[in-house]
Amino acid sequence: MSPSVRLQEMIRVIRSARTQGEERGVIQRECAAIRAQFRQADNGGRSHNLAKLLYVHMLGYPAHFGQMECVRLIASPRYNEKRVGYLGAMMLLDENQDASLLITNSIKNDLAHSSQYVQSLALCTLACMGSAEMCRDLAPEIDRLLRASSSYIKKKATLCAVHIVRKVPELGELFTPAARALLAEKNHGVLHGAVILITELCERNAQTLVQFREAVPELVHIMRGLVTSGYSPEHTVAGISDPFLQVRILRLLRILGRNNDTASDAMNDLLAQVATNTDSSKTAGSAVLYETVLTVMDIKSESGLRVLAVNILGRFLLNNDRNIRYISMTSLQKIVSTDHNAVQRHRGTIVDCLKDQDASVKRRALELSLALVSAINIRSMMKELLLFLSTCPPELKSHAASGIFNAAERYSPSQRWHIDTILHVLITAGADVRDETVPNLIQLITNASQLHCYTVHKLYRALVADISQQPLVQVACWCIGEYGDSLLQGDCEETEPIQVTEDDILDALETVLQSHMSSPATRGFALTATMKLTSPRQRGEGGRIRSIVSIYGSCMDVELQQRAVEYNALFKKYDHMRAAVLEKMPVMDRSSMGQTNGESGGGGVQELEPTKPKQPEMMVAPQPASQVGGGEGGGAVFLYIVYYGMVTMDPSVAPAAVTVYDKSGVVLKLSCERPLDASQTITLTATNTSDHDVSSLTLQAAVPKNVQLQMKAPSGDSLPARSSAVVTQTVLLNNPNKVGPGWAGTPG
């Protein structure tokens, strides 16, 4: 066709450009020429120039200067120019451009044009890029075309009306009468468009929906005609009569039958007929069956029909075509909560799909499998799921891991099984589990006291094998710290014995500490575990541990450094407190945990283990105190008290008064009262047994953000000599979230 030669020539030249730069050069030249042509008067080649520009636009180059040319061409009396002009409008103008409004008038004129092909262009453009304003302007025109025109125009006007309703839902009322009448049409194209229009109207307006319910018998009649009619060469695809129209009608029936018994009854027989008679060997038939199944499951259908539908889905699951398997699983997912037992029957096939090559199918199979886990099948399902976890694509790992955890939590047959499962997941996919897994697992382990020996053995083995999975390493370190004594004992009834010496354990912990794979939080766990091993029940030998801990006193990480310094202090000055501080952790209650493990925590004194200690543990790391001066006015005494632990809720505990400072005759004691809810009262008692008075005694306290502090007035600010009087001060702490580490108080 000769007129397009110049366009094709340009395309050829562009394609023959060898480099991106060359192509750009060619295009720049062409665009310059096109721009010049646009400025000239009409020379008969306008449509070709615009076509060239559209090609350039498709390659990704800017073409906004063609917008006005589109507007001009649309107004041309020549069909070929109109055609390209409208194409340009659809490609270059969208409702965000101002120029789009300029074509409204042209469209209006063309809608009334005597040539139906011109009308078609206008309708198509309006349906493609019509803005809300344009739609409002032209809606009456469209309505007119819906009622009185040829089938060719009617079908296009219907789809244009669909676009208008989508853009401006209020205009739906305008089209409702015409839409109703269109159902009587014989032309498949018009019918198809009409069904779509009615679907849109019903979806947006409840009253229209009620109105169209009366059309259900008519729709059923049309559908029946399609299903039982003979071969119609024009509309048949793979033996199915007009599958496009069938699918559309089924979808409309779904919307009309939803939540309505009468409508659902009216379509019941038809749906059964379609479900049984449709040949699903090709995609067209499967598409119709699929839509039928969706409709049956969504309306108020008889139970027999529902069973039929689920069976169809089950048949789809066995289909060789991967697409059909995928579709069937998507649908089963939608009904698994309502028709659980029916779907359970197909569990075997679904689990097999976990091994499919295709990632989309795998994802669907995973979702379904997780939904199908129940108390009865938990063991076999978990085997499959764990197998899947080891071979699944990385993007599914995290989802699979959390799904497995949820399932294990709900249905685990025994604690040991539960712990084993979680360990297995951590070993296989440790990097992808969520943060709260570690505290959850720790809590689980502490609760299973009879399994401590078994657990620590397993974890030790896992730790020695691989230290790259952070959550696993963290849990392992924690357990070794707590239950290291069982490890040293060597024998454990539930697992093979292993000879572990203290040095072996320390080796393992040191490896964790030094490895560059360990995150700061993991190192924290390891350091504390090392420290815990010095507790007398662990018979830990202090020397090696001390040296390990003191190395970290100069670590770059502030958190680790602080811990190391404090632990060092425990060795040096507070050896008498060491045993108490390093006691075994008590059994935890789920409700006390409001925090994820150290990874995500911010600054401040980090809580290493989410814990609810039976007694407030206190540690004191003194800093050089300036001397309590002999004489009046004395210097200030600074104390740095670090208080670990949370407010305890256990009423049976009688909190002891702890001496926090005892020097030169001045003794300061902090005692905690029985706490109520989240608050704690602390009383500071200061006594002076020296020969000199101490004056200007003040207490300063600082607390982390989550704790509220209220200091009452002290009873006095000077301590007379020889214990003749004491000074007390009360401090109220409120920890509304029951989380949080400690606070620091300084008596000044």
Partner 1 sequence: MRFMLLFSRQGKLRLQKWYTATAERDKKKMVRELMQVVLARKPKMCSFLEWRDLKIVYKRYASLYFCCAVEEQDNELITLEVIHRFVELLDKYFGSVCELDIIFNFEKAYFILDEFLMGGEIQDTSKKSVLKAIEQADLLQEVRKLPHNMLCF
Residues 22-51 binding partner 1 (CB under 8 A) are 51
Q: How far is the CB of 181 from partner 1 (least distance, A)?
A: 19
Q: Which has the closest alpha carbon to 437: 470, 459, 481, 486?
A: 470
Q: How far is the CB of 273 from partner 1 (least distance, A)?
A: 19
DSSP state of 495: B
Rounded to an integer, what distance in angstroms lies between the CA atom of residue 641 and that of residue 618?
A: 8
Tokens read off for 218? 């008519």
Q: How far is the CB of 242 from partner 1 (least distance, A)?
A: 5
**Is residue 656 helix, strand or coil?**
coil
* 318 is a site residue for partner 1 (CB under 8 A): no
* Size of the chain, expressed as the number of residues it contains: 748
Binder of partner 1 out of 16, 115, 276, 449 (CB under 8 A): 115
Of 127 and 628, CB closest to partner 1: 127
Of 90 and 618, CB closest to partner 1: 90
Rounded to an integer, what distance in angstroms lies between the CA atom of residue 701 and that of residue 512?
A: 36
* 242 is a site residue for partner 1 (CB under 8 A): yes
Of 84 and 658, CB closest to partner 1: 84
- Which ranges of 448-596 does DSSP label H, i.e. alpha helix? 452-465, 470-489, 502-514, 520-532, 542-551, 558-572, 575-581
Rounded to an integer, what distance in angstroms lies between the CA atom of residue 544 and that of residue 540?
A: 9
Binder of partner 1 out of 19, 43, 96, 623 (CB under 8 A): 96
Q: How many CA atoms lie within 13 A of 10 on its CB side?
A: 23
Q: How far is the CB of 188 from partner 1 (least distance, A)?
A: 5
| Region near partner 1 per CB under 8 A, out of 154-162, 437-445, 674-682, 729-737 | 154-162
Q: Can you say whether the dihedral through the CA atoms of 685, 690, 696, 699 is positive or negative? A: negative
Tokens read off for 405? 């955890």
Q: How far is the CB of 150 from partner 1 (least distance, A)?
A: 6
Contact 455, 445 (CB under 8 A): yes
Any idea which residue has 């925090």 for tokens? 595
* 401 is a site residue for partner 1 (CB under 8 A): no
Q: How far is the CB of 16 from partner 1 (least distance, A)?
A: 13
Q: How far is the CB of 113 from partner 1 (least distance, A)?
A: 8
Of 47 and 534, CB closest to partner 1: 47
* 284 is a site residue for partner 1 (CB under 8 A): yes
Of 291 and 420, CB closest to partner 1: 291
Of 3 and 586, CB closest to partner 1: 3
Q: How far is the CB of 459 from partner 1 (least distance, A)?
A: 38
**Letter for the amino acid at 293?**
V
Q: Which residues contact 105 (CB under 8 A, 6 or more apart)?
A: none
Judged by CB under 8 A, the chain residues 356 through 395 that form the site for partner 1 are 357-361
Binder of partner 1 out of 323, 679, 681, 746 (CB under 8 A): 323
DSSP state of 587: P
**Is residue 724 helix, strand or coil?**
coil
The CB density around residue 743, as the number of other CB atoms within 10 Å, is 22
* 11 is a site residue for partner 1 (CB under 8 A): yes
Of 59 and 184, CB closest to partner 1: 59
What backbone phi and psi angles, to 5 degrees, belong to 487? -65, -40
* 516 is a site residue for partner 1 (CB under 8 A): no
* 327 is a site residue for partner 1 (CB under 8 A): yes
Binder of partner 1 out of 26, 75, 95, 209 (CB under 8 A): 95
Contact 50, 17 (CB under 8 A): no
Q: How far is the CB of 387 from partner 1 (least distance, A)?
A: 22
Question: How many amino acids of this chain bind partner 1 (CB under 8 A)?
Answer: 75
* 6 is a site residue for partner 1 (CB under 8 A): no
Question: For the chain, what is the radius of gyration of the CA atoms?
Answer: 39
Of 88 and 742, CB closest to partner 1: 88
Contact 530, 548 (CB under 8 A): yes
Judged by CB under 8 A, the chain residues 123 through 152 that form the site for partner 1 are 123-124, 127-129, 131, 150, 152
Binder of partner 1 out of 322, 416, 663, 738 (CB under 8 A): 322
**Letter for the amino acid at 568?**
N
Contact 160, 127 (CB under 8 A): yes
Contact 609, 563 (CB under 8 A): no
Binder of partner 1 out of 326, 388, 411, 643 (CB under 8 A): 326
711 strand-pairing partners: 731
What mask of x and - would describe binding to partner 1 in positions 430 to 469, judged by CB under 8 A? ----------------------------------------
| Region near partner 1 per CB under 8 A, out of 207-215, 245-253, 596-604, 645-653 | 245-253
| Region near partner 1 per CB under 8 A, out of 84-92, 477-485, 515-523, 702-710 | 84-92
Judged by CB under 8 A, the chain residues 155 through 194 that form the site for partner 1 are 155-156, 159-160, 162-163, 166, 188-189, 192-193
Q: Which has the closest alpha carbon to 178: 139, 205, 216?
A: 139
* 335 is a site residue for partner 1 (CB under 8 A): no
Of 102 and 127, CB closest to partner 1: 127
* 60 is a site residue for partner 1 (CB under 8 A): yes
What backbone phi and psi angles, to 5 degrees, belong to 418? -60, -50
The CB density around residue 715, as the number of other CB atoms within 10 Å, is 13
Element (H, E) at 711: strand 708-711
Binder of partner 1 out of 116, 273, 349, 695 (CB under 8 A): 116
